[in-house]
Amino acid sequence: MCPPEHFGVLYEINPWMHREVTVDPERAREQWGNLKATLEQAGAQVEVLQPAPDLPDLVFTANAGVVNGHQFVPSRFMHPERQGEVPHYVAWFEARGFTIDWLPDYVHHEGAGDALPFGSVLLSGYRFRSDAASHAYLSRLTGAAVRSVELADERLYHLDLTFCPLDERRAMVAPEGWDRYGRRVVEALVPELLVLDSDQTMAFCANSVVVNSTVVMPSCPPEVGRQLEAWGFDIVVCDVDEFLKAGGACRCLTLALDLTLGPQGERLGEPRGRR
């Protein structure tokens, strides 16, 4: 995670951002601290990246890149406004002994915000921020089986606003964020789906963090809570509405570091496309 010292809505790169809306820095710090503490209480260990001036979205570490064991694949951001974050992420991972593997510079991909594992598959979104063309490269770099899902609503501009893996059998999903092919892909992949309706989707319920059997959510409508509890999960709601002003909620503010996607140490060769 990265503390919100320099967080604010300084530009507009998604439909939720409006520059005239000001962020309350005190409240942002409180909400961030609360999220961190909640995650730690649930059993997570949180490591911190130092914030940097002029990089207000550095808080959204979910977009740093894709973590795979000791491998880090940095993001290729769609918008120049966030491209400046990359060296910070790379330096942080390098200092911790990760190997850095790069996607080619002519494709876009925005990290764990657009690529989430389910079983042996890495589900990856595309259209608004990440390119479908990046998926083949991602697959080769990590060894993971990447399945592409086209995002269909520009308000749900990252996959992690529409998909939350819960355990090996279950996931919280917001299918209105996908096209019909994407829906079929997810239906084929996930045995038990918790399908969010429109309101639940726009409340960013899918942008939750799961630590062991605790689901940390930005909000939890009753029906959603009932289903999660029936499945044996505990729910904690963490208010993150200062961050919602930038279009991000709980998950966006975190990046899972203990993730292994594909066989370690194996790169499956270069993708066929030549440029």
Partner 1 sequence: MATEVVEVEGHIIDSLILAKVLDTIVDAGAEYRMVDVEIGRASTDTSHARIEIQADDEDVLTTLLTELQLHGANRVEDADATLEPADRDGVLPEGFYSTTNLKTQVRIGGHWVDVENPEMDCAIVVGDGNRVTTAPMHRVRAGDLVVVGLDGVRVQPLERPRGANPFEFMASEVSSEKPKELLVGEVAERIRIRKAGGGKILAVCGPAVIHTGAGPDLARLVREGWVDVLFAGNGFATHDIESNVLGTSLGVLLQEGPPVEHGHSNHLRVINEVRRRGSIAAAVADGYLRSGVMYECVQHDVPFVLGGSVRDDGPLPDVYTDVVEAADAMRALVPGVAVALMLASTLHAIATGNLLPAGVETFCVDINQAVVTKLADRGSHQALGIVTDAGLFVGLLADHLCS
Known catalytic residues are: 158, 252
Bridge-based pairing state of the strands 170-173 and 234-237: unpaired
Question: How many other CB atoms are there within 10 angstroms of residue 140's CB atom?
Answer: 19
Q: In the chain, what are the helix, strand and coil shares in percent, each to the nearest 5?
A: 30, 20, 50
147 binds partner 1 (CB under 8 A): yes
Q: Which is nearer to partner 1, 26 or 275 (CB)?
A: 275
Residue 192: CB minimum distance to partner 1, A: 20
Residue 82: CB minimum distance to partner 1, A: 21
Residue 148: CB minimum distance to partner 1, A: 4
Question: How many other CB atoms are there within 10 angstroms of residue 184's CB atom?
Answer: 12
78 binds partner 1 (CB under 8 A): no
Tokens of 206: 């899918």
Bridge-based pairing state of the strands 192-195 and 209-211: unpaired
Residue 123: CB minimum distance to partner 1, A: 9
Task: Spell out the residues 6+ positions from residue 29 whose beta carbon is closer than 8 angstroms to its own.
Answer: 3, 4, 5
**Residue type present at position 26:** E
**Residue type present at position 241:** D
191 binds partner 1 (CB under 8 A): no
Contacting partner 1 (CB under 8 A), which of 63, 71, 148, 200?
Answer: 148
Contacting partner 1 (CB under 8 A), which of 55, 133, 237, 256?
Answer: 133
Residues between 244 and 263 that touch partner 1 (CB under 8 A): 262-263
135 binds partner 1 (CB under 8 A): yes
Contacting partner 1 (CB under 8 A), which of 83, 169, 181, 265?
Answer: 181
Residue 184: CB minimum distance to partner 1, A: 6
Helices (H), the chain: 25-42, 80-83, 86-95, 133-142, 180-189, 198-202, 222-230, 241-244
Q: Which is nearer to partner 1, 180 or 226 (CB)?
A: 180
Q: How far apart (Å, rounded) are the C-alpha atoms in residues 223 and 146?
A: 31
Residues that bind partner 1 in the complex, under the rule CB under 8 A: 120-121, 126-127, 131-133, 135-136, 139-140, 143-150, 179, 181-182, 184-185, 188, 262-263, 268, 271-275
